[in-house]
Amino acid sequence: MPLHPSKLITTVIFSLVLLAAGLMLYVWLFKEQLTSTPIKVGILHSLSGTMAISEKGVVEGELLAIAEINAAGGILGRMIEPVIVDGQSHLATFARLAKKLITEDKVSVVFGCWTSSCRKTVKPIFEKYDGLLFYPVQYEGLEQSPNIVYLGLAPNQQIIPAVKWLVDHVGKRFFLVGSDYVFPHAANEIIKSQIQLLGGEIVGEEYLAVGTKDVAPVISKILSVKPDAILNTINGDTNLPFFRGLLQSKISPDKTPVMSFSIAERELAHLKPKDMVGNYASWSYFQSIDSPENKAFVSNYRKKYGQGRVTDDPIETGYFGIYLWAQAVKDANSDKIEHVKRTIKRQSLNAPEGIVYINPENLHTWRIARIGKIQSNGQFTIVWSSVKPVQPIPFPASRAEEEWTRFLQELFQKWKGHWENQGTLP
């Protein structure tokens, strides 16, 4: 009994309908796994204003990592969609945009801020709305939050080893100079404690208003006290007249080296490296690190942003931060903040600088400490390295945690509820 043609068509149509129904059922049951809506990542940095020079580099590092991950197929089959906003180097704008990214854009994570005043301004917002902030810059420590992953160096990974290195190699009489906001004040407080315990001497401590060019009084003070070394926490353009002034006053790096904590390759490219040759900086990452991972990173960065460009610690920190977060999302099998907050703990990576690892207790990052010497080409020669990553200790052991917290509160009150000295602001 052969199948009649019309019956054959009916059978085929019926089978197709059945197949379609099966597919629809499958899609309906597994719709969560099949949706490929992009994962939104907030990028909250200054793209304009005084901080833009530094922060644009971090944005570039973060976007490079996002582009690489997307090119490799995204995370959990989903693309990463950066939501880039401009904090305009203005604290109130940062606060408004942080709230908007968390509550309106509903981003899965925010990478943002450069200055400590910025971080301290948005910290209560991230805690109130339960957001997740990855902070990519070295800082003064004395802080931790369940809503912030501190990718940057804590004092015991940057400042304290640098002071120890100077004590071992240069001398014990130090001159402290910094910009007039929370990071230099707190950093110098930590330095003072350490130097005192080491039996060293602070021969001067000066603060310059953010963005000022008037460095002459400080230079003359340095000339008069003749320190063994200068610890520099000046941020931004003021470094240009400062180093020029040192050079003109014949304060040479051979006799009185400057150890800077906020000058990396990117800042050197905007300053005059020739004025600064022989001085030092302390970071985890230098572009001159000789490893296949770093060579690939530098080459990819230049391919994307231009052959003449330089990489530095904050750029690299933004870059590996995205990768650490992506690993946590993959492990959590979800981009939800509550899950990522759990899986980000103990994430580790072979970054361009070497091993990085998220400490589960304080969400700070284990990183290798290094000291570099400035060359005339704007690069650093690495003169010392901790070899193994250093466990981050946000509260230095030289004082109790309550003492550090009290110190910060007093600073905040002295500045009338701000994280920078409004009195010296231009």
Partner 1 sequence: MIKDIFSHKYFWAIILSAAFPLLLTTYIAVQIAENALQKQVADNLSLIANNKIADIDNFIQRAREDAGLLGKAPFIITAVQEAGEAVKRHEKPPASLLSGSQAQYFIRYFFSRSGYSYKDLILLSPKGEVLFSLKRPQIIGEPLNQSFLKDTQALKLFSNATTLLETQISDFEAVKGAENPEAFIATPILNGQSLLGVLVLQMDNQAITKVVSDLEGLGATGETLVGNVINHRISPEVSLRFASISDFLGQSQTLDPTFLQSFIKASKGEKGTGLMKDYRGKEVISTWRYVPSLGWAMLVKLDVEEAYSPIERMKKNMIVLGVLALGLVMTIAALVSRRLEKAENDLNRALSDLRIAMIAAEEASKTKSEFLANMSHELRTPLNAIIGYTELLQEDAEDRQLTDFGEDLTKIHISATHLLGLINEILDLSKIESGKIELCLEDVDIQSIIRSIQNLITPVIQKNDNQFVLECAPEAKMIHTDVTRLTQCLLNLLSNAAKFTKNGSITLRVTEETEITKKGEPWITFIVTDTGIGMTRPQIKKLFQPFSQADASLTRKYGGTGLGLYISKRFCEMLGGSITVVSEPEKGSTFTIYLPAKGPPM
Q: How far is the CB of 194 from partner 1 (least distance, A)?
A: 6
> Which of 366, 385, 405, 424 touches partner 1 (CB under 8 A)?
366
Nearer to partner 1, 131 or 389 (CB): 389
Q: What is the DSSP annotation of 31-53?
A: HHHH--PPEEEEEEE-SSSTTHH
Task: Determine which residue in the list 161, 184, 273, 352 makes contact with partner 1, applying CB under 8 A.
Answer: 161
| Interaction mask 386-425, partner 1, x per CB under 8 A | --xx-x-x--xxx---------------------------
Site string for partner 1, 331-350 (x = CB under 8 A): ---------------x-xxx
Q: Which is nearer to partner 1, 327 or 385 (CB)?
A: 327
What gap in Å lies between CA 114 and CA 152, rounded to an integer?
10
Alpha-carbon gap, residue 119 to 131, rounded angstroms: 13
Cα gap 226→81, rounded to integer Å: 53
- DSSP H or E segment with residue 21: helix 5-29
Pairing of strands 370-374, 280-283: antiparallel
Nearer to partner 1, 163 or 222 (CB): 163
Does 360 sit near partner 1 (CB under 8 A)? yes
Backbone φ and ψ for 98, nearest 5 degrees, come out as -60, -45
As a whole number of angstroms, the distance between CA 248 and CA 219 comes to 10
Stretch that binds partner 1, among 104-112, 113-121, 255-263, 359-367 (CB under 8 A): 359-367
Residues pairing with 178 in the sheet: 207, 233
Q: Cα angle at 258 between 256 and 262, to 5 degrees?
A: 175
In Å, how far are 149, 292, 386 from 393, measured between CA atoms? Answer: 14, 29, 15
Give 161 or 236: the residue with its C-beta nearer to partner 1: 161
CA-CA distance, 149 to 365, in Å (whole number)? 8
Q: Using the rule CB under 8 A, which residue among 104, 168, 254, 402 binds partner 1?
A: 168
CB of 369 to partner 1, least distance (A): 10
Q: ∠180-267-218 over CA atoms, to 5°?
A: 40
Instruction: Tell me the C-alpha to C-alpha distance, in Å, between residue 343 and each of 256, 338, 379.
Output: 46, 9, 36
In the complex, what is the shortest distance from the CB of residue 64 to partner 1, in angstroms, rounded to a whole number? 19
Q: Is 300 in the site for partner 1 (CB under 8 A)?
A: no
Tokens of residue 176, six digits: 């402290």
Other beta carbons less than 10 A from residue 301's beta carbon:
22
Q: Which is nearer to partner 1, 127 or 331 (CB)?
A: 331
- On the 0-12 / 13-18 / 19+ scale of CB atoms within 10 A, 47 is middle
Query: Shortest gap between Cβ of 123 and partner 1 (angstroms)?
Result: 25
Would you say 350 or 409 has its CB closer to partner 1? 350
Segment lying near partner 1 (by CB under 8 A), choices 35-43, 47-55, 153-161, 244-252: 153-161
Stretch that binds partner 1, among 45-53, 88-96, 162-170, 305-313 (CB under 8 A): 162-170
CA angle 276, 261, 367 (to 5 degrees): 125
Question: Could you tell me how many residues of this chain bind partner 1 (CB under 8 A)?
Answer: 35
The residues in 182-241 that bind partner 1, with binding defined as CB under 8 A, are 193-194, 196-199
CB 160 to partner 1: min, Å = 5
Site residues (CB under 8 A) for partner 1?
1, 156, 160-161, 163-164, 167-168, 193-194, 196-199, 327, 346, 348-351, 354-357, 359-361, 366, 388-389, 391, 393, 396-398
